[in-house]
Amino acid sequence: MDITLKNLVLAGIGGMSNTYEKAQGTIDELVKKGEIAVHEGKELNEELKRKKDEFTPVSAENLKAVLDELDLATKKDLDKLSQRIAKLENK
């Protein structure tokens, strides 16, 4: 996989995770300050978790589809090529 593409994908996944955690922290702060009721905070956290859980499998499926479409060499493919090159160099 192209390093730039891989880093972009990993950054996107990390960003989603970070956003989820920050949203949870914000909800907890609102509850502590009394700006929302405890039960509202729990409901918001539950909804946030549901949305995250709904989004995560779709993202993984989309990522796999994109990677398959790119038809990139796998580690196994690269290992085979390395072995072939080593054999040719020894001749």
In angstroms, rounded to a whole number, what is the distance separating the alpha carbons of residues 27 and 50?
15
The pTM assigned to this predicted structure is: 0.43
- Asked if 44 and 27 count as a contact pair (C-beta separation under 8 A), the reply is yes
Which residue type is seen at 65? A
* Token pair belonging to 58: 């779709």
Q: Number of folded domains in the chain?
A: 1
pLDDT by residue for the chain (91 residues), tens digit each?
A: 456 766 676 677 667 767 778 888 888 888 888 888 888 888 888 888 887 777 766 667 777 788 788 888 888 999 999 999 999 999 7
Give me the helix-helix angle, 38-70 and 3-33, nearest 10°: 170
The parent domain of residue 52 ranges over: 3-90
**Secondary structure letter of residue 1 according to DSSP:** -
